[in-house]
Structure 1
Amino acid sequence: MNVQSSRRTLLRASTMAGAAAVLSGCVTAGGDDPAEQATGAVTEDNPLGVPEGADLEVVMFDGGYGQEYTQHAVTLYEERHPDATVTHEGLQKVGEVLQPRFVSGEPPDVVDNTGAGRLDIAALAEAGQLTDLAELLDAPSLDDPAVKVRDLLLPGVVADGTLDGTPYFLNYSYVAWGIWYSRSLFESKGWTVPETWDDMLALCGEIKDAGIAPWTWQGKFPEYMMDPLQSLAAKAGGLDLVYAVDNLEADAWRQDGMLAAADAIHRLVTGGHILEGSEGLSHTEAQNAWCNGEAAFLPCGSWIEGEQQGVTPEGFDMAMAAVPALSGADALPYGAVQGSSSESFLVPAQAANPRGGLEYLRCLFSGEVARGFAESAKAMPVVKGATEGLELSSGLASVAAALEAAGDGVFGYKYRTWYPELAVEVDTATGELLAGRTDPEQWSDRIQAAADAVAADDSVAKYER
């Protein structure tokens, strides 16, 4: 979430603010002199009109999901277009590296725009820098020519990549966010995953008595801890609260549910329930400390199993649980979980080979690549049926079970994609809250002021749920 990968090295790095600001100001610079775009004959075997022999450049975010699945798609592409030369490169600071290329009108043909340093998709769309993916979605799938690409995708995936009625990007991974723990540790200690926040705080006391820190978190990237906070808020205030936040409504961040959620997270700080020094840890440092048994709980998205597979001890049996209920009167049902598609792939409008870019995505969203992704990345792809028949790992099985238990109680926020400058302020304020330098009321006031500023800024394109 995937963002993923974002929100791993996926979804976090301090470059996002600068990249978003620069993009908002000058992303249109390359628009006056678009690259010459190659086209080919449309045939049954080449439904998207890929020009044979044209080079293809793929740039992906190199995060927790690794590069195996995007390389797999390269192999399929090369099998279908043997005269093409495909360049594949993995990056972590996607926005920082690619923003100048968008400005100069020389972007790659495919971009996996993920990570905290990602490009501002809303600004790119507003500037006409993204290819409409409707033609890809209506193309015959690689798996079955009688089935369109759009019909292979899980519900909500197309909508997640749509801005003002146009599908501009497609997310690859279905991400759920929750609280992670070691099944083997909890079984050995006789601990039960809490169902309410009061139960959580009580269990934190037991965990401390056992000589283990109850929580750690990826302190250098506060978005990780914002995930359980906004989950608590959604549970308390329901979808009305979620939509009010996304729609930049007045006092959305001061609602009772939001304040109660901030107070719940703040009580981890005031209660001394967080591993000392967590504020200064990177995502990998915090996650390694958790895997080493220094802390019992860790907030993260469902990419973590794949990201940690090289360092997770044998028998750790990581699992994800839904964020506990805030109270007995929550607006969303017990077990509701934050989830959405993540890991955003797009085709730049000024790419030299956009037809090839669309074809690459047709390969990427095939059942063959999706199954390989589930196995190598230990994550859920957005392609229907991709995990059927697979023996799921401990973490992935727990994610699947949590989503099944949540049923219709899966929710998600969109303000991070729509208003990245607001997201930066949210994360900065949340870091201050977790460091004990601000309280819940000051936290909400600071974010509300930032949201109000975005709402009043006519230069920022607005979206509504």
Structure 2
Amino acid sequence: MGPTIEPGRLARRDLIKRAAAMGAVAVPAAALLSGCAAGGSGSTKKDTGTKTAANPLGVDKNAPLDVVIFDGGFGDDYARQFEKLYSKEYTGAKVSHTPTQNITGLLQPRLNAGDPPDIVDDSGNQMIKLDVLQKAGQLTDLTPLLDAPSIDDPSKKVRDILMPGTVQIGMVDNKFVTLPYVYTVSGMWYSGKLFKQHGWTAPTTWSDFMSLSAEIKKTTKIAPFAHQGKYPYYIDVAIMDLAIKNGGQDFLTRIDAMDPTIWDEDAAKNAIEAMYEIVQRNYLLPGTDGMTHIESQTAWNQYKAAFIPCGAWLENEQLKATPSDFQMTFMPMPSLPGDKLPATAIRGGANEFYIVPKQAKNAAGGMEFMRLMLSKKGATAFAQTANSLTVVKDGVDPTVKLRPGTQSTVTALKAAGANVFNPTYVNDYSAFATDMDNASAEVMANRMKPAEWLKTVKASAVKAKKGS
């Protein structure tokens, strides 16, 4: 949950957003259902135009477009690039741009009044839960967007140019009602400058990782490893990535189904013991167990640690703290002996949810805005402006220069090919995920051994399974 990203970020994105990036759940909007429902029965006049091959969604070319963007870790400049694309196509349309960090505070009154924006980036710790909106009848069915021709290749539908899993993640109550636009990969990060300076090679196996860590500790004053101790879901992601790569698709399927027997098996045992080895050998940056994500990541930027685990929002989140010649670089979690997935396999999935409210006056324009977001120009603009990837397959123009961290995630994603995984258990079993967070924090602080961690996590899985 390192949250959505981060302006000051614990506004990262908001710890919540990060969670979303890794599959977590958004903050509930308690009294929203009745409020939204109150405005759900109005009959708003829609702005529509004639559907043609060039205008497949039937946009009224002169209708204004009302855009609301969560101003978090990605900022809002990227949305202005999308708005320029829209204005170029629809020269008679006035586009209004509203950035906010309080989506609920801005959106709920407008929903209740039956006068919502046309497109909303529903993100941050004040986002409105999608299931709440859907139950209140406040979300437009975006299936027409999926079936519309893509901007760059009209012979392909929009649904055909999306990264695997995008449509499924955008489904609420079996309807595609939100576009998860950002594609986040997670793994390990290091400084290319630091590694070149010392002649170090990025490890692909855990054995090589530990050997390099031993060398770093022996020959420098740099700690081999730092982590965001106050938010242990970061280290959970690292542990579970080790386990999933070791146990393969079977392990992934069973953890998402909350099968408690997996915690008795080798993949889980190998993963937690590998991580605990870092603790045992005293390879942790002193104090990292008590640091926030920004504190630990900034220490890493200051060359106080060689490696840190994180999602791809890291580069944008750390822009101000990162030296210009740091050469931020992403790598997959190193392979354990006997891994069933290749060394190049990485965690990746869609997040950052965009919606078109049901009562939006220019709903067709809102969907067209999304179609432009899903063009190569849109995806490239986002990568350049927000330093992150999108759900558009091969969406970044290869001739465009990206920041080193973002470029390294592009490279890693291509190398992974079909070996990209994205566990979903955090969505369905949040109490279990919290129990794992707490146990992992104890392991990293050396107050709990791997065997007890496995026992604790299994007990939580049994409880979660019964509760489901």
Q: CA deviation at 1:181?
A: 0.6
8 A contact 2:83–2:95 mirrored in 1: no
- Whether 1:13 and 2:15 are equivalent positions in the alignment is yes
Q: CA deviation at 1:290?
A: 0.9
Q: CA deviation at 1:25?
A: 7.9
Matches of 1:201 and 1:267, distance apart in 2: 9
Q: Structure 2 matches for 1:50-449, cutoff 5 A? A: 50=59, 56-79=65-88, 80=90, 82-91=92-101, 108-115=117-124, 119-121=128-130, 124-125=133-134, 128-143=137-152, 145-163=154-172, 165-209=174-218, 210-327=220-337, 329-349=338-358, 351=360, 353-384=362-393, 385-449=395-459
8 A contact 1:94–1:113 mirrored in 2: yes
Query: Letter of the aligned partner of 1:342 in structure 2?
Result: N
Structure 2 counterpart SS, 1:130: coil
The correspondence for 2:45, drawn from 17, 38, 48, is 38
Query: Letter of the aligned partner of 1:269 in structure 2?
Result: V
Q: Which moved more, 1:122-131 or 1:302-311?
A: 122-131
Query: Letter of the aligned partner of 1:390 in structure 2?
Result: V
Q: CA deviation at 1:46?
A: 4.6
Count residues in correspondence. 456
Aligned twin of 1:462: none
Query: Letter of the aligned partner of 1:257 in structure 2?
Result: A
Matches of 2:424 and 2:239, distance apart in 1: 15
Q: Report the CA distance shift for 1:296/1:88 in structure 2 as closer, same or farther (over 3 A).
A: same
Query: Letter of the aligned partner of 1:320 in structure 2?
Result: F
8 A contact 2:11–2:124 mirrored in 1: yes
Q: Report the CA distance shift for 1:391/1:333 in structure 2 as closer, same or farther (over 3 A).
A: same
8 A contact 2:3–2:16 mirrored in 1: no
Could you tell me the TM-score, scaled by structure 2's length? 0.83
8 A contact 1:2–1:173 mirrored in 2: no
Q: Report the CA distance shift for 1:308/1:99 in structure 2 as closer, same or farther (over 3 A).
A: same
Could you tell me the TM-score, scaled by structure 1's length? 0.84
The one-character-per-residue Cα deviations of 1:81-139 (angstroms, maximum 9, x if unpaired) are 63445232142x65687678778877654333445665544565566553322111112
Structure 1 counterpart SS, 2:378: helix
Q: Report the CA distance shift for 1:223/1:12 in structure 2 as closer, same or farther (over 3 A).
A: farther
8 A contact 2:189–2:330 mirrored in 1: yes
Matches of 1:420 and 1:56, distance apart in 2: 37
Q: Report the CA distance shift for 1:278/1:253 in structure 2 as closer, same or farther (over 3 A).
A: same
Matches of 1:290 and 1:217, distance apart in 2: 9
Q: Report the CA distance shift for 1:8/1:245 in structure 2 as closer, same or farther (over 3 A).
A: farther
Q: Report the CA distance shift for 1:110/1:427 in structure 2 as closer, same or farther (over 3 A).
A: farther
Q: Report the CA distance shift for 1:8/1:167 in structure 2 as closer, same or farther (over 3 A).
A: farther
Query: Letter of the aligned partner of 2:236 in structure 1?
Result: M
- Whether 1:27 and 2:33 are equivalent positions in the alignment is yes
8 A contact 2:205–2:343 mirrored in 1: no
- Amino-acid identity (%): 37
Q: Which moved more, 1:333-342 or 1:387-396?
A: 387-396
User: Runs of 5+ in structure 2 lacking a partner?
Assistant: none
Matches of 1:83 and 1:37, distance apart in 2: 19
8 A contact 1:11–1:117 mirrored in 2: no
8 A contact 2:2–2:231 mirrored in 1: no
Q: Which moved more, 1:257-266 or 1:175-184?
A: 257-266
Q: Report the CA distance shift for 1:2/1:292 in structure 2 as closer, same or farther (over 3 A).
A: closer
Q: CA deviation at 1:297?
A: 0.4
